[in-house]
Homo-oligomer: A and B are copies of this chain.
Amino acid sequence: MFFNVKTTEEVLEIIQGFNPVEEENIDLSNASGRVLGRDMISPEDLPGFPRSSMDGFAVRAKDTFGASESLPALLELKGEVLMGQIPAVSVESGTAIRISTGGMVPEGADAVVIIEHCHLLDETTLEVMRAASPQEHIIRPGDDFARGAAVLKKGWTLRPQDIGVMAGLGILKTSVHRRPRVAVISTGDEVIPIDRKPKPGEIRDINTYTLVSFCEIEGVSPLPLGLCRDQFDPLRELIERGLREADSVWISGGSSVGTRDMTVKVLKSFPGMELLVHGISVSPGKPTILARVDSKAVFGLPGHTASAMVIAEVFLKPFLGRLAGRNPDPLRDRRFVDAVLGRNIESASGREDYIRVKLVAGEEGWVAEPLFGKSGLISTLVEGDGLVRIRRNEEGLYRGDKVRVMIL
């Protein structure tokens, strides 16, 4: 039935063979969570002037050498640096100027003594009770970024702090990959729109809603194309539309053999179609199809939502990362929690198993309780906290084994 069954590693490699979507130039204020299309270089020195990093007094460091609580240095206070302005006076030997955090260090000064180490005897006489070293509490021009320095790498997903730094550098527009668009088609003669009451034998369209939401959460624009019966012409038309309007097409099968066969048959009618994957050696989710049509990825997903969601988590997530131009990021791509397995799990060797588990707080950390049950149930989807992987060469896992749970 399946002619081109691949392993997880092979499919993940095939996925990297698709190209990211093109770049666009957008305003910084819209760039949160977007993926940089090119390396970002600092356009200027930051800061552009010497700044104080503390509240205190700008001084000449050598005027404070040897100062201590018992023998403070006495300096003449000559005024205050106003925020946002070039200081009106400069610091000469024996003098100090009051300065706030972020204030511009006046000419002549080469250190800032923090407020806690000073004592004002009267309005113009300052006691300094600690020696300052040269450049102490001063941020020099370019200390943060020198002009031309690398700030962020192409393929990086912009976090709030990255946006802030770009604002600080005066970067008003930035080149990011545009948001990929994914067409979602739901097939199966038994599948009906969710606003209809199912008659016996019918079931509501769970997969469109799940996959559309999955796209939204992953930062991709979904294009739901609706329901399609298991017939050649309507399915071909929808796939054609998806290929025209989106960057990838996901066909979530009805769960029957008929639908799966129909998807392959329709795909074969597209000139130049390459059937890259016809079955993956994972459970659940084996009946997964990946084809390249017009250089776009067309996925045929299993009809069971629980199976489709395993494929989404394991394969569609990295695929969307690739499409979005995102560099793989082991710290942020997935969320893992360490746990101890609550029950034995058997597994057929030769395939990779993903077991849905519920995480329960135990005395020594999380316990992963496998959610068994007939395949085809969807209640395990809401009960499940994550997936435990059993590798291809493992025959199972034992109660008490340490496992890494991929959080869903």
Specify which of B161, B168, B205, B254 is in contact with A408 (CB 8 Å cutoff): B161
Please indicate the chain B residues that have their CB under 8 angstroms from the CB of A377 in the complex: 53, 139, 143-144
For the complex, what is the distance from the CA of A83 to the CA of B382, rounded to whole Å?
A: 26
* Nearest opposing residue in chain B for A169, CB measure: B204
**What are some 28 contacts across the A-B interface (CB < 8 A)?**
A28-B194, A31-B213, A49-B201, A51-B203, A54-B375, A83-B230, A84-B192, A101-B255, A101-B256, A102-B188, A102-B254, A104-B201, A137-B374, A139-B377, A144-B378, A159-B217, A160-B216, A161-B381, A161-B382, A164-B210, A164-B309, A165-B378, A165-B382, A167-B204, A170-B194, A170-B197, A170-B204, A335-B335
Is the CB–CB distance between B376 and A51 below 8 Å? yes
A15 to chain B, nearest CB (A): 19
Determine whether the beta carbon of B168 is less than 8 Å from that of A378.
yes
A254 to B102, CA, bound (A): 8
Taking residues whose C-beta sits less than 8 angstroms from the other chain, chain A's interface range is 35 or more
Interface residues of A (CB under 8 A from B): 28-29, 31-33, 46-49, 51, 53-55, 82-87, 100-104, 137-139, 143-145, 151-152, 158-170, 172, 188-192, 194-195, 197-214, 216-217, 230, 254-258, 303-305, 309, 312, 330-332, 335, 337-338, 359, 361, 374-379, 381-382, 384-386, 407-408
Closest chain B residue to A159, Cβ basis: B408
Chain B residue with Cβ nearest A199: B86
- The answer to whether A190 and B83 touch (CB under 8 A), given A32-B216, A161-B210, A217-B33, is yes
B375 x A53 contact (CB < 8 A): yes
Chain B hits for A202, CB < 8 A: 84
Q: Are B161 and A84 in contact (CB under 8 A)?
A: no
Q: Of the candidates B208, B375, B407, which one forms a contact with A331 in the assembled complex, judged by CB atoms under 8 Å apart? A: B407
A103 CA to B190 CA in the complex, in Å? 8
In whole angstroms, how far apart are the Cα atoms of A46 and B378 in the complex? 9
CA distance A379 to B381 in the complex (A): 42
Q: Are A201 and B164 in contact (CB under 8 A)?
A: no
Chain B residue nearest in CB terms to A30: B216
